[in-house]
Structure 1
Amino acid sequence: MSMKDSALTIFYDGRCPLCAAEMKQLRQHDGAGKLCLEDINQPDFEQRFPNIDPVEADRMLHGQWADGTLIYGLDVTAQAWALVGRHQWLKLLRLPLVRWFADLGYLFFARYRRQISRLLTGSSRCDAQACHKIPASVSAETSQIKEIR
């Protein structure tokens, strides 16, 4: 799916096992093609997306609506899952009082996602294609983790 044909483009770290597993799940549920998933580690990323700083996108998940509006962090996650009609409970994390705490939790996760990935998957970083071939057991584990979150 190209960026111009999708409602939301997500710029994610494809070398992060948990991030790649979530993108794989989103892709599986995106039958209507509402999402465009772009790995910030692709060699031509900066050329294709000059408005997205890959260093900043590595620090915090970035998304871009079709109209060019950028969104970040849990806003991207909540909107992506809403677009594919799943995990509607994530909307609760965007309520004003909850949002502040949820965003703090997200920032902690984003900063330590490699260490968290190592604990949960045994690997902190994927090689070039390893995350795109995540075993079903890891996908199932991360799915259960997301249900708990």
Structure 2
Amino acid sequence: MTENPATAVTPPSPAERPLAEVVIYDGHCNFCRAQIKRLQWWDCQGKLAYLSLHDPEVGRRWPDLPQERLLDEMCLVDRQGHRHWGPEAFRYLTRRLRRLWWAMPLMHLPGVMLLAKPVYRWISRNRYLIAGRTDCDSGSCSLHR
């Protein structure tokens, strides 16, 4: 069943949570949006804000973020301005979000990133095939097909 965009709950933005760390994700991707919904549940303390990489605010706030990399990996910008990409962002979140405590020991095992990075890259390359895409007119939806 497809979610009706009119009834979809928009994740909190940096304007709504100015002190939050910011997750930048592909808002045109159904798979990514589903993961953001899951992340919102894990973020029961409201530590995160969210922006689609297609939002002009991303370019205004972080002009140095490479668009090509944003299309390949989610990025988390922490309160100190450090950038955490893809599986390393998830590893970082296991230390920050109370509901992810169970994943922290696993994500910090020696060598786990040797497996996590290629798995993340495969999912990223195939995410539109896995879950479809939203309707968009910018042409970005076809980039990973």
If the length of structure 2 is used for normalisation, what is the TM-score?
0.71
Runs (5+) with no aligned partner, structure 2: 1-12, 137-145
1:27-38 equivalence runs, <5 A: 27-38=40-51
CA distance in structure 1 between the aligned counterparts of 2:111 and 2:61, rounded to whole angstroms: 37
1:118-137 equivalence runs, <5 A: 124-127=132-135
CA distance in structure 2 between the aligned counterparts of 1:95 and 1:79, rounded to whole angstroms: 13
**How many residues of Structure 1 are paired with residues of Structure 2 in the alignment?**
121
Q: 2:93, 2:100 within 8 Å by CA — same for their partners in 1?
A: no
If the length of structure 1 is used for normalisation, what is the TM-score?
0.69
Question: Which residue of structure 1 lines up, in the alignment, with residue 6 of structure 2?
Answer: none
Question: Which residue of structure 2 lines up, in the alignment, with residue 99 of structure 1?
Answer: 113
CA distance in structure 1 between the aligned counterparts of 2:119 and 2:44, rounded to whole angstroms: 30
Matched, 1:41 2:49: no
Q: Give the residue type in structure 1 aligned to 2:90.
A: T
Runs (5+) with no aligned partner, structure 1: 118-123, 129-149
Larger relative contact order (CA 8 Å, sep ≥ 6):
1
Question: Which residue of structure 2 lines up, in the alignment, with residue 84 of structure 1?
Answer: 97
Q: 1:75, 1:94 within 8 Å by CA — same for their partners in 2?
A: no
Pick closer, same or farther for the CA change 1:87–1:42 going to 2, 3 Å.
same
Pick closer, same or farther for the CA change 1:23–1:81 going to 2, 3 Å.
farther
* Residue 44 (structure 1) shift: 4.1
The runs of at least 4 aligned residues of structure 1 exceeding 4 Å deviation read: none
Partner-residue secondary structure (3-state), 1:86? helix
**Larger % of helix: which?**
1
